[in-house]
A and B are shown apart, each in its own frame.
Chain A
Amino acid sequence: MLKGHLDMIVLAALSAAGSAHGYAVIEEIKRRSGGAFDLPEGTIYPALHRLEQAGLLSSRWMTADSGRRRRVYTLTKIGNRALAERRAVWKQFSDAIGGLLGANRPRENPA
């Protein structure tokens, strides 16, 4: 189920972190989810490549302090729009499920 929302999770983490490399994205996901999302770390990278190809992210290579080459990702305008859309859909879904499970009291029929 988590994998079905992986793109949204990655976009949200990048939106919060600003420009970030894969490791930082994973750390951001762990931190913001309170460690609840324990995905194999390797699955994040194909998702980053996929999102970049779809135009939702852009990337550039830089040299880290360690001297290693590092790929840093940034959300594009299209990515920001896509994230806003997914947030709206998720909120709708979450409200509906909340209503079904009794978190929100259903409105009584006046008739």
Chain B
Amino acid sequence: MIQDSGIIQGYLDVLARELDFDRSLSRCVRQEIEDHLWETVEADQSGNMLEAQRRAIANFGDARAIAAEFAVVSLARRSRRAGVAALLMIVSVLVAMKARVIWLAATPWAISDDLRALRAIVAAIDRYAFWTSVIVGLASWAYIRSRRIPAAFYPAYRRQLRRFSLLCGATAAALGVSVISDAVLTAFRLRAAELSADSVVAMLSVAIEIVCVGILVFQIRAVALRAASTAALLKA
């Protein structure tokens, strides 16, 4: 049977290659479909192994068309993951921000008088930007969570993805502004301080916030790339 497995292996290779943009899905689909095809071959009573394999593949359908349907499922999973990531990153930024505020309160560094007015403006920008990211982030998560997973890459689903990407983009932008404001506020506090373990902790918390925004941007980019792969698969 192993000697005659070329037809099925060739078919599985095409299917797995088309889904290569999602490695774990590609591996999992390959195993699942391989089991199906061999079970079909084993149930075939013609006694001709090659013919049974050809029939199994013909009944299964075109590998690219099936890969395109899996790609839509993968895209839906990826976009939902991005929605959850948006919320997680907002919470992480909040935790880093609060931890830094508590830490800085325990240090002797104070903001100089000439920076107090500017600090108030930056702090207001920080507050508004952060709460904007919370509201828009929640909206983007709720939006994608409430959409049904479509059977195909319908135009309506493309529009939903575009709206979701816009919401996620707005979340990342607002969170980015908030993190920049945090960095400026931290710089105000650290201006008079010398480099020490205490100041490194404060800088580290800002770095964590920057990484959180980076992760969110990466997730949004991944959705866009997955959508492009799915669209390309449908065109092929």
By a beta-carbon cutoff of 8 Å, the part of chain A in contact with chain B is 3, 6-7, 21-23, 40-43, 45-47, 49-50, 53-54, 64, 66, 68-71
Contacts and interface: CB of A to CB of B under 8 A. Distances in A.
Nearest to A54: B149
A74 to B, nearest CB: 15
Contacts of A49: 70, 73
A69 B35 contact: yes
Contact of B61 (A6, A43, A47, A50): A43
B22 to A, nearest CB: 11
B151 A50 contact: yes
A3 B66 contact: no
A50 B39 CA distance: 23
6 contacts: A23-B36, A42-B33, A45-B32, A46-B70, A50-B76, A71-B28
Contacts of B60: 40-42
The list of the 9 closest CB pairs from A to B, nearest first, reads A40-B61, A46-B69, A42-B61, A42-B66, A42-B60, A68-B35, A49-B73, A23-B39, A41-B60
Nearest to B69: A46
Contact of A54 (B35, B42, B65, B148): B148
- Chain B contact residues (Cβ within 8 angstroms of A): what range? 20 to 34
Contacts, number: 76
B19 to A, nearest CB: 11
B40 interface: yes
Interface of B: 28-29, 31-36, 38-40, 42, 59-63, 65-66, 69-70, 72-73, 76-77, 80, 148-149, 151
Contacts of A22: 32, 35-36
A37 B151 CA distance: 18
Nearest to A26: B36
A43 B149 CA distance: 15
Contacts of B29: 45
Contact of B149 (A45, A53, A64): A53
Among B32, B34, B60, chain A packs the most CB atoms within 10 A around the CB of: B32
A23 B60 CA distance: 11
A46 B35 contact: no
